[in-house]
Structure formats: structure tokens, C-alpha cells
Chains A and B, each alone.
Chain A
Amino acid sequence: MEYTAEQAAAPAYLDAATAAPLHPVARQALTAALEDGWADPDRLHAAGRRAQRLREAATATVADALGVRADEVTFLSSGTAAAHAAVLGGLAGRARAGRTFVHSAIEHSAVLHAAARHGDSAEVGVDLRGRLDLDAWRTAVSGPGVALAGLISASHEVGTVQPVAAAAEACAEAGVPLYVDAAQSVGHAPVPPGWSLLTASARKWGGPPGVGLLVVRKGTRWLSPYPGDDLHRPRPQGALDLPAVVAAAASLRAVLAEAQTEAVRLSALVDRIRATVAATVPDVEVVGDPAERLPHLVTFSCLYVDGEALLHALDRHGFAVSSGSSCTASTLRPSHVLEAMGVLSHGNVRVSLHRGTTEADVDRFLAVLPGVVAGIRKEAGM
């Protein structure tokens, strides 16, 4: 492999689906909120009241952005913590109705780990494009003893948007609450209504890391799975990072104001990546639905290529991407999402764009990629 290749003109960060670069509004709000946000908003003194006002303003901003009531919104310490709270709390609240957690085969690992901890779950498959099997979903949610159903709004690995509205309808008919993991959608694409619980993660939309969002709609029974004194209302475990919460809320409002324009721009860049990769890299499979997809995310798999070698080679050229290949996972197992779809799991690359991504970044990536893939294949003797 050519390790001496000239580094591309400027590095390009193309892993926004893991964490997007901090939005300038988030940076500004974070700095400003440090002034009062250190105090405990639950204390009955002046400093506490100032912190409380910050928390209330942030909550109101997020509630307004998502079209929900302020008392339905809870900030938690991460998207993962929010997903755990949604699944385990949603199941606990429905213990009298049943025990089974129905979920898609392509949920985020945070949801799957919570499901595994719970123990009683039923998985619903997806097709080759990563879209939920709605018939199987309807059958599963209407079965006996179903306590909760979980569906990711759009695949975090391949970008395919899920039929949330139809899935919610099936849940409503069965009287089962629906939890939607909207981490990849919030800030990028609208989430249809009909859900009972929703989670998101601020770092996916350009907010700071360490802020998760849990929304529990009125009328949904939620029971805390954690030690604590208020069992019926979600609360963060320990002190909240209030400055980060303020920054998350402010950046969400800013991101939503530009979301439609950005979606059009990024979606065109993703179209270009999909078409160019398929045309310039031999033996490649561009995966996910080409139309019903997130605007900013694209995944492809290259035959005979080691995913880890590909990530490192692209990194040397200045491109940050991620991969669902087994050699890049701590478990050494291929991505459960790619497996559920039945698409090639090795040589996998996920490219995810953000507001700072330029056309020139994408073109440089597309110019470098075929040579990088060819180099790795040559080294493997292919």
C-alpha cells in the first residue's frame, strides 16, 4: 500500500453520525452558560434559582423544537443513557400489561443492550435495503404480553428511514406504546408523530457530547428502573451538566432553522457519493435505501477489503469515517445492522456529513477512495 501518498489538501471530518463538530451557537451558549450553570438547579438559593431558570429555558426550547410539552422532556447524561431509560422505564411502566419488548433488528446497540438486560424480547427483521418488515412488525406487536415496541427512526449505520408512522399505527391498534430512537434524525429530518417515548443525542446534531434527551408523552406509563426517590418521572442520575444542556438546546434551535436547506445540500452530496463510488470503485456495494434515507449519511462495502485497513488508510489521507466491519468492532463481530440486511459486512465505510462539509471535501474524498481501495486489494493479492 502507498503510505507515502501526499496528504490531501485539508483534512475532512466525515463521521458526523458518531459526533458532529460543535455548532457555533453551541459553543457560544456553552461559554455563556458557564456563568450560572455550575449551580444546582434544585437548590433553594439565588444561585440555584439562576441555574433553574437556565434549565427551564433549555427545556422550553427543546420542547418547542420537538413540538412537545416542556414537562415531557428530560435531559440525561448521554444518548445511550436516554435509550436505556426509555427501554427499561417503558417496560417497567407496562409490567402489568406484559413483559415482551418488540424491536427491529437494526436498533442501536444501546437499545439492544437494554433489551438483553430485560431478557424478554422479540426481534423484527428488515429487507435488503434496511427497511422494517411491516407485516412481521404488525404480527409481533399484536402478540400476547407485549409491553413496549422500539423502532429506530432511521438506521444509524445505513441511513434508511423507517416507516415510523405505519409502525406507530400498528402499535396504537395493539395498544402498545412505541419508543423511537431518533438520534440520527433529530436536527436532520422530521420524525412522524404517534410515538410514546423518544430519545436523541445532542452530539449528533452539533450540540456538546454528554447530553441525551428523553421525551415521555403524557399518558405513557414510565417507571424508573434506577434507584431514586421520584419513580414516575425520569431524572438524570446525579448532577446534570447544565451548561452543556443549555448549549444543546440553543444549537438544536439553530440547527432546525437551517435543517431544510442543509438537508437539500447534503442529500445532493450523498447522491454524488452513491453514484461516484458505484461507478469508480469495482466490486462495491452501496447499501441502504437510495431515496428513503437520511440526508447526511451513506454506507458502502468494498469486496476483499479489510475495514480497519481502509479506515486507517483514509485517515492517513485526512478523512475521518467509520465502519461496521467486524475488525473495527470491539466485539470482533460484524455489524448486526449489515447482518440483518444481508449485505457485505467487510470493507465497510460509513460517511456522514455535517454543516461544515463542503463540496470540495466530498470531491477530494471521491478522488482518493478508488486508489486507496485498489492499494489494499493489491496488498491482499486481489
Chain B
Amino acid sequence: MIEVDSRGRRCPLPIIDLARRMPSVPVGEVVRVLADDPAAANDIPAWCRMKGQEYVGSPAEGAYDVRRLS
């Protein structure tokens, strides 16, 4: 699985990391973001909604899975 490690980085940096990585993620694949900023739990699903990507869920604390749809 593709992983973006944004631990120790404050929002909006984890979202910027995710957005930068997205073009290299094949459509249909899941990317996992690791982030310990408390805003990530809210802002990663919000980013998915705004950008038309799928928020798969949070498999563990500080981990967020996003599927590229387009």
C-alpha cells in the first residue's frame, strides 16, 4: 500500500502531502496517510468530499485510507 508519512507535521501539511502524492496513485488504489495532527481526522474526509475521492476510513489511530477515484 502507498503510504504518506505526515507524522509530526501540522495541518494543513498532511493534506498538502496527500494532494501532492495523489497524481502518482493509480485510479482505484488506496493511499494511507499517517498523521498525528488532530485536524487530520476531520480534514482528510473533507478533502475527499471536495476533491471527489473516496474516504475509506481510519484503520488505526493516526492512519487514514483514501481511494483514488479519478
In the complex with contacts A334-B11, A345-B43, A326-B50 CB distance below 8 A = no
Closest to A346 in B: B12
Does A190 touch B at the CB level, under 8 Å? no
A336-365 residues at the B interface, CB under 8 angstroms? 338-339, 342-347
Query: Secondary structure at chain B's binding surface: helix, strand, loop or mixed?
Result: helix
In the complex with contacts A342-B45, A345-B46, A303-B38 CB distance below 8 A = no
Q: How many residues of A contact B (CB 8 A)?
A: 24
CB neighbours (8 Å) of B37 from chain A are 326
In the complex with contacts A326-B39, A382-B19, A342-B12 CB distance below 8 A = no
Type the 1/0 row for A300-333, where 1 means its CB is closer than 8 Å to any CB of B: 0101111000000000000000000111000011
Type the 1/0 row for A260-287, where 1 means its CB is closer than 8 Å to any CB of B: 0000000000000000000000010100
Does A381 touch B at the CB level, under 8 Å? yes
CB neighbours (8 Å) of B43 from chain A are 334, 344-346
CB neighbours (8 Å) of A334 from chain B are 11, 38-39, 42-43
Are A344 and B47 neighbours in the complex by a CB distance under 8 Å? Answer: yes
Are B46 and A342 neighbours in the complex by a CB distance under 8 Å? Answer: yes
Interface centre among A301, A342, A344 (most CB of B within 10 A): A344
CA distance A150 to B43 in the complex (A): 27
Write the nearest CB–CB distance from A299 to chain B, whole angstroms: 14
Are A346 and B11 neighbours in the complex by a CB distance under 8 Å? Answer: yes
Are A381 and B45 neighbours in the complex by a CB distance under 8 Å? Answer: no
Type the 1/0 row for B38-59, where 1 means its CB is closer than 8 Å to any CB of A: 1100110111011000000000
A174-195 residues at the B interface, CB under 8 angstroms? none
Does B15 touch A at the CB level, under 8 Å? yes
Are B11 and A303 neighbours in the complex by a CB distance under 8 Å? Answer: no
Closest to B11 in A: A346
Type the 1/0 row for A360-382, where 1 means its CB is closer than 8 Å to any CB of B: 00000000000000000000111
User: Which single member of B19, B20, B38, B47 contacts A326 (CB below 8 Å)?
Assistant: B38
In the complex with contacts A326-B37, A346-B15, A303-B42 CB distance below 8 A = no
Are B42 and A338 neighbours in the complex by a CB distance under 8 Å? Answer: yes
Closest to B13 in A: A380
Closest to A339 in B: B42
23 A-B pairs with C-beta separation under 8 A: A283-B50, A285-B46, A303-B50, A304-B12, A325-B11, A326-B11, A326-B37, A326-B38, A327-B10, A327-B11, A333-B38, A333-B39, A334-B11, A334-B38, A334-B42, A342-B49, A343-B46, A344-B43, A344-B47, A345-B46, A346-B43, A347-B12, A380-B12
Residue positions of A touching B, CB distance < 8 A: 283, 285, 301, 303-306, 325-327, 332-334, 338-339, 342-347, 380-382
User: Lowest 7 CB-CB distances: which A-B pairs, in order?
Assistant: A346-B12, A344-B46, A334-B39, A326-B39, A346-B11, A339-B42, A304-B16
Given contacts A303-B15, A345-B46, 18 further A-B pairs with CB under 8 A are: A303-B47, A303-B50, A304-B12, A304-B16, A305-B12, A325-B39, A326-B37, A326-B39, A327-B10, A327-B11, A334-B11, A338-B42, A342-B46, A342-B49, A380-B12, A380-B16, A382-B19, A382-B20
